[in-house]
Amino acid sequence: MNQHPSSSPAPVAALPRRKLGRTGLDVSILGLGTAPLGDLFARLDDAAAIAAVERAFSLGVNLLDSSPLYGHGLAEHRCGTALRRVARDQIVVCTKVGRWMDPFHGRGEGSNFVGGQPHRAVFDYSYEGTMRSVEQSLLRLGTDRIDLLLIHDVDVWTHGKEAIEARFREAMAGAYVALDKLRAERVVKGIGVGVNEADMCVRFAKAGTFDTMLLAGRYSLLEQPALAEFMPLAAEQGIGVMLGGVFNSGILATGAVAGAKYNYKDAPPEVMQKVAAIERVCRAHGVALPVAALHFALGHPAVASLVLGAHVPEEVERNVAALSVPVPAALWRDLKAERLLDDNAPVPA
């Protein structure tokens, strides 16, 4: 079994932190997303997966984002092992509600988590289902509290156009009421949503009082649909934005190579063409595409943290190191001049 020691050299500069909305929490500008640790697409070595979490902590990452969905509980179990090795108050733990795990009926077919626990994920945005989900997460994480709770996957991507209205009503009448109660009782410090669509972030922001939102894939160097309405609304309401999917499922990390992934599928020709053009401009300025992608996503003032997944410690190290690479302002100017980037998109100073 390969061991991945957490004693390799730390970066020269400490990882900066930003305030996360109204939560009172300061979070590192890079958070660790743990979907890969649920054996997403590939079975992981258990020790290496846990070592990735430990390495993130040692490099100054204090935001840990998980979900019952990830490996049907496996990611939370692995996170719990790493959490027991540090002081609990050093880490901001975020997980999600909307599914609970049924241990009696098997996991079924069609999951992207090829390993994971042999438990079936049950969609449930009701009050009771939310409380069950929270209780199960506490047990898997091995902790007595969770800092942030997000309503997970209430979007068209997950449920389809026919079911989304019913799911949204269920979430606001059930899950939101439960999370609002937990927040009022100071059981959690912040509540929010974790979705794949900017429009759903807007709907939730207008329907309730949320502290934070995790938006995956819809504000990146490749596309900025969240820029027009959600980002200004988040800034106006004091909602701390966490961004996931800033590599758009891989293509902004790999570039426009054969088999590059976009939204978990092979990238279509028009996406490949745009990424190739962005990469050409980046290359002209001596900046790697994934480095530019990270710096751009952090350039919006509403963004508190980028939640990046990792399989092994070395991936965490690469992501952290990318933040110390300088990016010239001329790169952003050239991308806008070639209409590869929205003119109104804020960029790093």
The CA angle 265-318-323, to the nearest 5 degrees, is: 100
Residues 6+ apart with CB under 8 A from 37: 44, 49, 52, 53, 66, 70, 71, 74, 75, 78, 79, 309, 311
And the tokens for 318? Answer: 């690469």
Return the SS3 of 216.
strand
Yes or no: say if 256 and 272 are a contact pair by the CB < 8 Å rule. yes
Catalytic residue set: 65, 70, 96
Pairing of strands 261-262, 30-33: unpaired
Residues 6+ apart with CB under 8 A from 312: 4, 48, 49, 51, 52
Return the H-helix or E-strand segment holding 31. Answer: strand 30-33
Yes or no: say if 196 and 217 are a contact pair by the CB < 8 Å rule. yes
Q: Which residue has tokens 């960029």?
A: 347
And the tokens for 172? Answer: 């606001």
